[in-house]
Amino acid sequence: MAVSVENRPPVTPPDLPVHDPDVPIENAIIARLSRNWGRRASVKRPEPDLAEFFEPDRPDFPEAMIPFRDHPAYLRLPETTRQRLRAWGWIAFNKNVIDIEQRVVNPGFQALAEDAFGTGLGDMFTVAATQAMVDEQYHTLMHFNASVATRAGRGWALSERDLPLCLKVRSHARALDEVSSVRDRALVGLGYMTVAEISINALLELVAGDDTVQPINKTTADLHSRDEYCHSSVAAELATIVFHDLSATDRTTLLGAMARAMEAFAATDFTTWATILNRERVPDAERIIADVRADGNRKRVLQDFRGLRRLTTAWDVVDEVPFDWSTTISN
């Protein structure tokens, strides 16, 4: 039975990226974003130049996020090559975020806005889901602008078009291909969207929390992360409303999709990194990837799934999720 509108918890629709107008770099990123958006068609205004915040001596991407950072073949590379690989890492990170927003998150929110599960979502929840989709377009543009700033600052092409779809999106596509009914596809989409929205903060914080990287890059990740704290609560509330209306079979499908999504979000995208190494003609690229892939001591890229554990605990199904919580930070 659907939860009545009166008994549903309030949802505050998400707003534009939260920022401090007195912090120049935050203000520049948001000003460029907003002027590229609603006013572009009618009033073309000068756009803030992010180049003034570019610091060429700073790395574009945290060294700790490069999976082969300790491999002897990587350490033997000239610093200029390692610098290009770090820049590629940032381009790939942005593409990863954009792929997730466009191919996983927005379709999931779209299904909720259209009440694909027949739970009788009212106007307030439809507005929340729809405004979240608008916000995701801002995030997409914000990360693309950050990649543009890197290409301009370094003078390197480094096109995201040369990279494959990210691992999370490839996993999402495979999971959708394995089910045939419209309802099961919606459940799989909801599972992946829920994992993305509740765990993406932890991914963004890997860059936002690193004081050594480019200020533009750190600030872009930080601004996005602030927004996602709001989105995660919206996604959790909407998923909870749907979950409580599901049959046992539907719940199994949803939880299975969430487990697959967590595996994909936690894993290293070796396909993307292999593409980068090959594009840069790094010697022994195949061996580097093979050695790191075979390393049993390698840590997961994303380890913080505490939000998802709290959510499934609240649903009283944490032990029914086919995922090994012990491999991550989940308490």
More confident residue, 37 or 103: 103
pLDDT value, residue 327: 83
The Cα 124–Cα 10 span in angstroms is 8
Kindly report, residue by residue over 233-266, the tens digit of the pLDDT: 889 999 999 999 999 999 999 999 999 999 999 9
Q: How many C-beta neighbours within 10 Å does residue 86 have?
A: 21
pLDDT value, residue 131: 86
The Cα 266–Cα 262 span in angstroms is 6
Delineate the domains of the chain, giving CATH numbers in brackets. 64-327 (1.10.620.20)
For residue 209, the SS3 value is: coil
| Residues contacting residue 331 through CB under 8 Å, at least 6 positions apart | 306, 309
pLDDT value, residue 31: 55
**Which residues on adjacent β-strands are paired with residue 304?**
329
Kindly report, residue by residue over 59-91, the tens digit of the pLDDT: 999 999 999 999 999 999 999 999 999 999 999
How crowded is the C-beta side of 260, counted as CA atoms within 13 Å?
24
Kindly report, residue by residue over 266-275, the tens digit of the pLDDT: 999 999 999 9
Lowest mean pLDDT segment, chosen from 30-39, 106-115, 194-203, 284-293 = 30-39
pLDDT confidence bin for 320, thresholds 50/70/90: very high
The Cα 90–Cα 319 span in angstroms is 36
pLDDT confidence bin for 4, thresholds 50/70/90: very low
Among candidates 135, 200, 141, 132, which has minimal Cα distance to 166?
200
pLDDT surpasses 50 at 123: yes
Kindly report, residue by residue over 152-182, the tens digit of the pLDDT: 999 999 999 999 999 999 999 999 999 999 9
φ/ψ bin of 187: left (φ > 0), alpha (ψ from -120 to 50), beta (otherwise): alpha
Identify residue 133 by its one-letter amino acid code.
Answer: M
Q: Kindly state the tokens that stand for 99.
A: 């792929």
pLDDT value, residue 330: 62
The Cα 296–Cα 302 span in angstroms is 16
Kindly report, residue by residue over 39-53, the tens digit of the pLDDT: 433 233 444 567 788
Q: How high is the mean pLDDT of the chain?
A: 87
Q: Helices (DSSP H) in the chain: which residue ranges?
A: 24-36, 72-75, 79-100, 106-113, 123-154, 167-177, 182-208, 215-243, 248-266, 270-279, 285-294, 306-314
How crowded is the C-beta side of 257, counted as CA atoms within 13 Å?
30
pLDDT value, residue 3: 42
Q: Kindly state the tokens that stand for 295.
A: 């390393």
